[in-house]
A and B are shown apart, each in its own frame.
Chain A
Amino acid sequence: MIPVIQSLIDATSAGAVYALAALGIGLVFGVLRLANFANGEIITGAGYALVLLWPLSWPLALAASVLVAIGLSLLMDLAVFRWMRSQSPAALLIASFGVSILLQRAFEGIFGVNVRSGAVAPALTKSVNVGGLRLSLLAIVAIVLAALLLLAVHLFLTRSRMGLQVQAAAADFREARILGIRSGAVIAVTLGMSGLLAAAVAFVLTAQSGSVNPSFGVQVTVFGLIGAVIGGLNRIGGALVGGFAVGFSLSLFTTWLPAGLGDFRVAFVYLLVIIVLVIVPNGIFAGRTAKERA
């Protein structure tokens, strides 16, 4: 029984991180129809800020990581995506691929190809034993941080005037604009929120590994993007659940696959993704609003 609970806790904390990544991607997709692959480089940028500045002063590092993430998010929209608002989601995705590669090389140029390491929040690496369960502080922090941010995003989206405008824009951008929603502000707020979520992901991941390299954010973004798609890109909540599901199953496969198949854990996740999409082509929570976007 203990190993089962243990693996569920580990899987929840892994799922929480991917859920944050997927939510950031899902929010932006909802408003801009942009499946932003370059979200990974926002995470990487925030990661560099954390690792390099933490030894100087941790509040500075936290603030810098959030600023870098939001700044990068706004900057890439300003430089690239705002010029192609009317294009298809597929074209936007391809362009974001390009932006991702450009930024990765920029990081290489600035910080070098090699891993930069530094202890981020070293206190969190401790773990406590509770009745045979090994609870790592970081796992708890990851879960709590994700829950708090999700709650904050949820409250913002449902209770605040701006949040409602973002939701309206996500449902139907053109109609929302006709009804007098300030599109520029909505887009900026959405990008800012996705930047904030990326910074949170970067915090948990750098605290886990203590190092950053130019392709640091790619893997979590790939899984976050996939999670957002299988959850249903038309629903902001769907992205969240999809991202969680991907992280959760990845962690469970890692723990429970028999020795001979352990190498194939990632393959099983991708197989699962294909199966889900074949069963529900528009994502699990696409709902009735799902329509042809080919």
Chain B
Amino acid sequence: MMSSDTRRSPRLGWSVPQPVLSLWTLAVPLVVVWLFSSAASRLSPAASIDLGYALATLIIVVAMWTFIGNSGVLSFGHIAFVAVGAWTMSLLTISPTVKSSIMPNLAPFLADTTLDPYVALLVAAAVGGLTAIISGFALMRLHGLEAGIATFALLMLVVQILTYWDAIGPRSGQSMTGVPRSFDLQSTLLIALIVIVIAWGYGQSVSARMLRASRESVQAAPASGISITWHRIIAFAVSGALAGVGGAMWAQANRVVQASQFGLDFTFTTIAMLVIGGMLSLWGAVVGTLLISAMNHVMGLLENGVQIGGFIVSLPSGSRLVAVAAFMVFIIIFRPSGITGGREVRWPFLSRDPFSQRRVQRLAQRS
């Protein structure tokens, strides 16, 4: 949580205005993502491909943070919005001839339409957001574990519908192939950065602040006149729309979309990234995703076999997920609030005088 007062820096002798402190929490994640991407895209062709997935995943995890981080309510259902976004993107960009051959029963308005990828991306966001609003009215009254299970039920419901309803997709869980590659790495990076800006901007809004107040105390917030349900629905909608964008970007990175991809493993991987980074901060979402994505890339190389010295080291396939799972269990046990401790990036030139340090610690203990 950011404090609202300005901090005096005795060394420099001037006080840092609040907007600078806030913008710092945006600037650092943006720069880190940009640096990570430029480094990865220069590394090797394989790293560039994995970078496409990493950026799509980053969008998804940031979208999840928008809801989970601000509201403190666990959602196992966000992959539903990702699936809806991926579906929208694929249906609106696959060429009509391919569509008619793999999806003969498609609804006419879907069968004939092909949109510009950027327009399709916006439609994916709209469809994701709309799904979130509609389900939000039902689900946002729930708290704790019940909310987690209900959102999980939403995910399963959406996956079942996408699997079997052949008016909006292929028959019985078959895959949609032929998704065109519409965004190069540059534009994918740009979209990811825009999503971070939107998520951060939402985090600065009055609604998000009220939601965070309700996260700290579910009893006190309503007593202060905050409608928790309403602000949760807003957060859910924003987060659903961003997850829709993430799904669309994932679809075009993967080129093949199938309902069964959007299940427990996907949910687990993304939640693990959020938990490992620290789910209460945007910075945590970014750190967790980049770290696990990098780890996935290295594990992938090791699975294929890497020559180190005179030996060829290779790991059994599937060890990526094991590593993520083990790492996450380790983090939950030893650092429950994640690597970043759930805090945003802090202005580095803050006063180092003991009074301020102690005051910060005391504030942290009280919360």
Q: Enumerate chain A interface residues (CB-CB to B < 8 A).
A: 35, 80, 83-84, 87, 89-91, 93-95, 97-99, 101-102, 105, 108-109, 218, 225-226, 229-230, 233, 263-264, 266-267, 270-271, 273-274, 277-278, 281-283, 292-294
Contact = CB atoms under 8 A, between A and B. Distances in A.
B143 interface: yes
A293 B144 contact: yes
B110 interface: no
A254 to B, nearest CB: 14
Contacts of B328: 94-95, 98
Contacts of A105: 318-319, 321-322, 325
Interface in B311-339: 316, 318-319, 321-322, 325-326, 328-329, 332-333, 336
B130 interface: no
A274 B326 contact: no
Contacts of A267: 156-157, 160-161, 164
Nearest to B214: A294
B286 interface: no
Contacts of A278: 138-139, 141-142, 150
A83 B336 CA distance: 11
Interface string B223-248: 00000000000000000000000000
B24 interface: no
A97 B269 CA distance: 10
14 contacts: A84-B336, A90-B145, A94-B275, A95-B333, A98-B268, A101-B322, A102-B326, A267-B160, A270-B153, A270-B157, A273-B149, A274-B154, A281-B143, A282-B146
B145 A35 contact: yes
A274 B144 CA distance: 15
Nearest to B319: A105
Contacts of A91: 275, 332, 336
Which of B138, B145, B154, B319: most chain A Cβ within 10 A? Answer: B145
Interface in B124-182: 138-139, 141-146, 148-150, 152-154, 156-157, 160-161, 163-164, 172
Contacts of A281: 141-143, 146
B318 A229 contact: no
Nearest to A265: B160
Contacts, number: 128
Looking at chain B, what size class is its interface with the partner chain? 35 or more
B73 interface: yes
A144 B336 CA distance: 44
Contact of A229 (B74, B146, B271, B321): B146
B272 interface: yes
A274 B150 CA distance: 6
B218 interface: yes
Contacts of A263: 163-164, 172
Nearest to B321: A101
B96 interface: no
A264 B144 CA distance: 28
A225 B87 CA distance: 29
Given A101-B325, A264-B160, A267-B160, A108 B145 contact: no
Contact of A274 (B139, B164, B172, B316): B139
Nearest to A81: B333
B72 interface: yes
A89 B326 CA distance: 19
B97 interface: no
A86 to B, nearest CB: 9
B219 interface: yes
A273 B146 CA distance: 11
Contacts of B138: 274, 278
B329 A102 contact: yes
B347 to A, nearest CB: 30
A134 B149 CA distance: 36
A281 B218 CA distance: 15
B73 A225 contact: no
Contacts of A273: 149-150, 153
Given A99-B329, A281-B146, 8 more contacts: A94-B272, A94-B328, A98-B325, A98-B328, A102-B329, A105-B318, A225-B149, A266-B160
Interface string B266-302: 0010011001000000000000000000000000000
A108 B318 contact: yes
B161 A264 contact: yes
Interface in B18-45: none
A102 B319 CA distance: 9
A102 B316 CA distance: 14
Contacts of A218: 264
B329 to A, nearest CB: 4
Nearest to B318: A105
A105 B72 CA distance: 31
Contacts of A270: 153-154, 156-157, 160
Given A87-B332, A94-B271, A226 B153 contact: yes
Interface string B175-214: 0000000000000000000000000000000000000000
Contacts of B156: 266-267, 270
A91 B141 CA distance: 20
Contacts of A282: 146
A228 to B, nearest CB: 9
